[in-house]
Structures are given as C-alpha cells and as structure tokens.
C-alpha cells in the first residue's frame, strides 16, 4: 500500500521537471533564441553531389539549406530559415518547402513564396561542387 503513493509522487515530480523544459523549447522557437534558425555564415559541406537528382531537391536540415538541380543540371541553393518569423523549415514535399510554424510554403528551386503568411522569398546561397561534394556558402 505504501508503494503506490511513492509511485504517484515520482510521477508528479517527473512531470514537474519536464514542464519547464518544454516551455523553454517553445520560447526559444518563438524568439529565435537558439541557433536552429541561424542563417549560414560560412561555407559548409553538405554531402555527395549525387544526392540531388536532376529536377529534384534535397533539404539539409542540419545546415538550413536546400539544394535543387534543374533539368539542365544547374544547381541552386537557398537558406531555409523561414522569412516569416525565422523558424527552420523542416519539410520538403517534392519541390515545395513547408514551414512547421505557420504553414508558409516556398519553391525549393526559386525560393519564391507559394503560400503566405511569409511574403519575402528565401535567401539565396552560392553552391558549388568540390571533389564530388556539394558546398554551400553565403553569397558575396
């Protein structure tokens, strides 16, 4: 009979300990207080060039970069920090980027807004292939 109240106390304490953590996560997302939505400030190696097929795109969430390849083989890259309120975009559906915060959508190949509330296009990045590896960097 005494084990049951102890389990209840543990459950309550565990729940209380988790509540502030969840709250901090939401605050950081709204305020952009962490670096998840930080724009690219220096060159970064993304991965093998072969990961981006002709006519396709790949989202590199860890670096907030999307790379697209046109039918002619040309590469384009954009920073995937949403221009509405700075959330990192975490979903690529075909060539359509979808922001998890308020539902803005962008064209991965042009950076243009496909769905509001965002109104400004994504920031373009420079992208090149070095020894078979995609490298994105801020534009000069």
Q: Does 117 bind ligand FES (CB under 6 A)?
A: yes
Q: Does 136 bind ligand FES (CB under 6 A)?
A: no
> In the bound complex, what is the minimum distance in angstroms from residue 60's beta carbon to ligand FES?
18
Q: Tell me the per-residue interface mask from 86 to 115 with ligand FES, x by CB under 6 A, - otherwise.
A: -x-----------x-xxxx-----------
> In the bound complex, what is the minimum distance in angstroms from residue 50's beta carbon to ligand FES?
30
- Interface with ligand FES (CB under 6 A), residue from 84, 96, 123, 137: 84
**Within 23-82, which residues bind ligand FES (CB under 6 A)?**
82
**Separation of alpha carbons 119 and 140, rounded Å:** 23
Beta-carbon contacts of residue 7 (< 8 Å; ≥ 6 apart): none
How distant, in Å, are the alpha carbons of 49, 112, 140 from that of 128? 9, 21, 14
Q: Which residues of 71-96 are buried (b: 16+ CB within 10 A; e: fewer)?
A: eeeebbbbbbbbbbbbbbbbebeebe
Number of residues forming the site for ligand FES (CB under 6 A): 11
Beta bridge partners of 33: none
| Complex with ligand FES: residue 76 or 104, whichever CB lies closer | 104
Q: Does 138 bind ligand FES (CB under 6 A)?
A: no
């Amino acid at each position: 009979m005494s084990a049951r109240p102890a389990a209840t106390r543990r459950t309550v304490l565990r729940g209380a300990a988790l509540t502030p953590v969840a709250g901090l996560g939401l605050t950081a997302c709204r305020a952009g207080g962490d670096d998840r939505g930080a724009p690219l400030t220096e060159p970064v190696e993304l991965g093998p060039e072969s990961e981006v097929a002709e006519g396709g795109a790949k989202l590199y969430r860890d670096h907030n970069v999307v790379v697209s390849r046109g039918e002619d083989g040309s590469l384009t890259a954009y920073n995937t920090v949403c221009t509405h309120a700075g959330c990192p975009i975490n979903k690529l559906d075909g060539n359509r980027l979808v922001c998890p915060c308020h539902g803005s959508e962008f064209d991965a190949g042009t950076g243009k807004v496909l769905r509001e509330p965002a109104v400004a296009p994504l920031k373009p990045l420079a992208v090149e292939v070095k020894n078979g590896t995609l490298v994105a960097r801020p534009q000069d």
